[in-house]
Amino acid sequence: MAKQVLSCTVNGEAVEVLVQPYVTLLDALREDMGLTGPKEGCGTGDCGACTVHVDGKVVASCLMLAMQVRGRKVRTIEGLAAADTTLHPLQDAFVRLGVPQCGFCIPGVLMAAAALLEENPRPSEEEIRYGIAGNLCRCTGYTKMVAAISEAAGTLASQRSAR
């Protein structure tokens, strides 16, 4: 089986990479593009650790074939911070509020939270919980996560009104 050329945009940059046709998007990101932020927690779409954005929407990258993102835009945790490496308000809030424990779920949670705030800038607690309900975390119990997402929403709102 020959490799195929995958052309897409990843974290804002045009990418052309050779991939086996039978690999998932998650595996292509991790093994062929060196982006090990998205994790495999289950491989069957039941845990959210592999969450990335495709064309702005959260997806389970373990359930997509790599070639299915041809011509599309992919964003991983490595693309969440600003180009000058300033942490996104979500990342900053997670650090300050002591959210990450083992850290394995965190890239997926942050991508889910980022998409939530882009779609719903002022989510209620319930909306936040449903926004990350596709992301399992075994260490934290979610309470500090919800608080950090809520705080980041406030930060983003004041950044917007400051402009």
Partner 1 sequence: MSTMKTTRDVKGVGVSIPRPDGPEKVTGRVQYVADIQAKGLLHAKLLRSPHAHAKILSIDVTAAKALPGVRAVLTAKDIPHLKKKAPTRAHAVLAIDRVVFMGQPVAAVAADELSIAEEALDLIKVEYQVLAASIDPLKAMLPGAPPVADAGTEADTSEALAHSAVAIAKSEAPAKAVNISQQARLQRGDPAKGFAESDHVLEKTYRVPMVHQGYLEAHAVLAEWDRNGLLTLWASTQGSFNTRSEVADVLGIPENRIRVIPVECGGGFGGKIRALCEPITAVLAQVTKRPVRYVMTRREELQAGMPAPQVIIKLKTGVKRDGTLMALDAETVIDSGAYSGAVLAVSAVFLGSMYKWPSFDVRGFEVLTHKPSVAAYRAPVAPQTIFAIESHMEQIARDLDLDSVEFRMRHLIQEGDPMVNGQPWQSNGAKQVLARIAEHPHWKSRKQWVAAAGKNGKRRGVGLALGGWLGGLQPTGATVRLNPDGTLAVLTGQVDIAGTNISLAQIAASAYGVDTDLVRITTGDTDVAPMTGLSAGSKTIYTVGAAVLQAAEDARRQTFEIAAAELEASIHDLELTDGKITVRGMPDKGITLATIGKKGNLYMSKTPPVLGKANPAFTQQAPGFAAQLARLEVDADTGEVTIQDFVIVQDVGKAINPLGVEGQMQGGAVQSLGIALTEGLMFDDTGRLTNPSLLDYRKLTAADLPNLETIIVEVPAPAGPFGARGVGEPPIIPAPAAIANAIQNATGARLTELPMSPERIALALVNGKH
Partner 2 sequence: MRRFDLVLPNSLEDCLKILAERGAQAKLVAGGTDLLPQMKNGVLKPAVVVDLSGIARVRQVQNGNGLRIGAAVTARELELSPALRGAYLAIAESAAMVGSLQVRNLATVGGNLCNAAPSADMAPPLVALEAQAVIAGPKGERRVPMADFFTGVRQTVLAPNEMLIELVVPPPGAHSGGQYLRHTPRRELDIAVVGVASQLTIADGRCTKARIALASVAPTPVRAIAAERSLEGQAVTPEAIERAAGLAIEAAKPIDDQRGSIEFRKHLVRVLTRRTLTTARERANA
What is 66-98 written as a DSSP string? GGGGTTSEEE-GGGTS-TT-PPPHHHHHHHHTT
Amino acid at site 89? P
Q: Is 98 left (phi over 0), alpha (psi -120 to 50) or beta?
A: left
Distance (Å, whole) CA 89 – CA 99: 13
Q: Which of 15, 65, 97, 157 binds partner 1 (CB under 8 A)?
A: 97
* Residue 3 touching partner 1 (CB under 8 A): no
Chain contacts with partner 2 (rule: CB under 8 A): 1, 4, 20-22, 24, 43-46, 48, 51, 54, 57-60, 62-65, 67-68, 70, 112, 115, 130-131, 133-134, 136
144 binds, among partner 1, partner 2, none (CB under 5 to 8 A by kind): partner 1
Residues in touch with partner 1 (CB under 8 A): 20, 22-23, 30, 34-44, 46-47, 49, 76-78, 80-81, 86-87, 90-92, 94-107, 110, 125, 128-130, 132-147
